[in-house]
Amino acid sequence: MHSWCVQADWRAPTIVGGEGAHFIDDQGRRFLDMSSLAECMNLGHQHPRVVRAIQEQAATLCFVTAAWGAEPRARLAQLLLEKSGFAGGRVFFTLGGADANEHAVKFARQASRKARGRIITRERSYHGASYAAMALSGDARTESQVDAASFGVLRVPPPYAYRCPFGTTNDEDCGAAAAARVAQVIDGAGAGAVAAVLMEPNAGTNGIVAPDNFWPRVREATALRGVYLIADEVMSGFGRCGEWFAWQRYGEAGRPDLMTLAKGLTGAHLPLGAVVLSAGVAAPLEHAMLYTGLTYCGHPLACAAGVAAVQAYEEDGLIERSRRLGAEMRAALDRIAARHPVVGEVRGGAGLFAVLELVRDRATREPLAPWATTHASLRALVDRAREAGVSFATRGNLIILAPPLVIGERELIDALALLDRLLGEFDWT
Ligand SMILES: Cc1ncc(COP(=O)(O)O)c(C=O)c1O
């Protein structure tokens, strides 16, 4: 079965290879990947260093359980603690993002001694599709499948300044109001009853980019109240937002207590997720029984891929590259928006992540199609771009731009020129 689609409607080419920012189908057609597939192939396709590391690890040792030590697991944990500056912390490895978030919640509850403590998350958020991760997510697609309250989840409105749920008219006020609501909900439940706030720090999977004052204020509010802050960096980590981890944009004022990773952790060459615990969260767990485990926790092949991925980001200068090309992409998108009234807002660009929100009317901000449906012209644009050899991702009225950090400058410019041209070719009424 195929994810997030009607099975009977699914039709897509079979992908048989890839190289750099391109993937190749079984007809030999090459596609420039403007979304890193699922915003995960930050290193592009078939990164030679990562492929080699997997081959070498496979020839040495494919598997060992977490009951025993494994060299690549220890090395990767060390690297993650270094890159995040979580000295004295610990890392728990999972298989992907959803179980990383579930485990972060477990650890936060156990370390805070609030065994059933509430978890505050945002409406219009995505943290994974397993049951507890669905409960954590404020996702309209799956809301009816799970009773979030029974998982101890409380939701707050997102810092979505373009359509501010608090009725404000600028980024700063929206960020302040959204952070104040988090504080209010903690106070309403009682700080002793709330274990953690779990959110994406900056760019969001649902196309929301938080105003810059939002995350530091949430950090301040949670710290003041003795509530842990968990940063979901599954999508925003590993250069996507121009930093190793998006919270680093705010310096120490943005440092969370726990952070979850997946996707870019191996550049999607193998499935792997992680929870990074600060020293403060790890300490109370040090002499406590940890009632959790995964057979494949810290799988040596995946961790070897992770070590090679971290080295590739570093040695190829990809974090800085993402920042530089992100600024270039943002400038090009702003020019595109000036030419096409269907573009209501451009967001992002701190790294190679940006969003175009399409509207029917720029003045009233009337959505192009009701959330989360997709206008026929946008679907046709995606098909036409594919025919031209460029793969764009959309979600509702959003075009999400998240190419691999290795994309060539010329490739990026050409893809955006194609987008510019296609936006002018369709009827957006
Ligand atoms: C922010 C965020 N968190 C969690 C997840 C879930 O990760 P996975 O699909 O690896 O379970 C995703 C996946 O898209 C994500 O974008």
Per-residue model confidence (pLDDT) at position 204: 85
Atom of ligand 1 lying closest to residue 130 CA: 11
| C-beta separation of 35 from 263 below 8 A | no
- Choice from 131, 234, 261 to test ligand 1 binding pocket (greatest atom count within 8 A of CB): 234
**pLDDT tens by residue, 224-279:** 999 999 999 999 999 999 999 999 999 999 999 999 999 999 999 999 999 999 99
Measured in angstroms, how far is the CA atom of residue 129 from the centroid of ligand 1?
Answer: 8
Q: Helix, strand or coil for residue 240?
A: coil
Place 81 in a pLDDT band, splitting at 50, 70 and 90: very high
Per-residue model confidence (pLDDT) at position 251: 98
Measured in angstroms, how far is the CA atom of residue 234 from the centroid of ligand 1?
Answer: 6
The yes-or-no verdict on residue 372 having pLDDT over 80 is: no
**pLDDT tens by residue, 379-429:** 999 999 999 999 999 999 999 999 999 999 999 999 999 999 999 999 998
Question: Going from the N-terminus, what domains does the chain have, and what CATH number goes with each?
Answer: 7-33+317-423 (3.90.1150.10), 49-315 (3.40.640.10)
**pLDDT tens by residue, 87-112:** 999 999 999 999 999 999 999 999 99
Per-residue model confidence (pLDDT) at position 205: 81
Measured in angstroms, how far is the CA atom of residue 260 from the centroid of ligand 1?
Answer: 10
Mean pLDDT of the chain: 97
Can you tell me which residue has the tokens 């020839």? Answer: 59
Place 194 in a pLDDT band, splitting at 50, 70 and 90: very high
Residue 427 CB-density burial (10 A; 0-12 exposed, 13-18 middle, 19+ buried): exposed
> CA angle, 271 as apex, 265 and 274 as ends, to 5°?
50
**pLDDT tens by residue, 299-358:** 999 999 999 999 999 999 999 999 999 999 999 999 999 999 999 999 999 999 999 999
CA-proximal residue: ligand 1, atom 3 (nearest): 127
Residue 58 in tokens: 């496979």
Residues with beta carbon inside 6 Å of ligand 1? 38, 96-98, 101, 126-128, 200, 205, 232, 234-235, 262
- Choice from 37, 125, 198, 235 to test ligand 1 binding pocket (greatest atom count within 8 A of CB): 235
**Portion of the chain with pLDDT greater than 90, in percent:** 97
Atom of ligand 1 lying closest to residue 97 CA: 7
Atom of ligand 1 lying closest to residue 263 CA: 10
**pLDDT tens by residue, 146-167:** 999 999 999 999 999 999 999 9
Atom of ligand 1 lying closest to residue 271 CA: 10
**What angle do the packed helices 318-339 and 300-315 form, to 10 degrees?**
70
Q: How far apart are CA 350 and CA 231, in angstroms?
A: 17
Number of Cβ within 10 Å of residue 290's Cβ equals 12
The yes-or-no verdict on residue 64 having pLDDT over 80 is: yes
**Portion of the chain with pLDDT greater than 70, in percent:** 100
Per-residue model confidence (pLDDT) at position 371: 82
- Choice from 263, 270, 400 to test ligand 1 binding pocket (greatest atom count within 8 A of CB): 263
17, 18, 12: which is closest to 407 by C-alpha? 18
Per-residue model confidence (pLDDT) at position 346: 98
| C-beta separation of 108 from 275 below 8 A | no
Per-residue model confidence (pLDDT) at position 259: 98
**pLDDT tens by residue, 32-45:** 999 999 999 999 99
Q: How far apart are CA 225 and CA 14, in angstroms?
A: 51
- Choice from 126, 130, 240, 355 to test ligand 1 binding pocket (greatest atom count within 8 A of CB): 126
Mean pLDDT of 100-128: 97
Amino acid symbol at 9: D
Amino acid symbol at 370: P
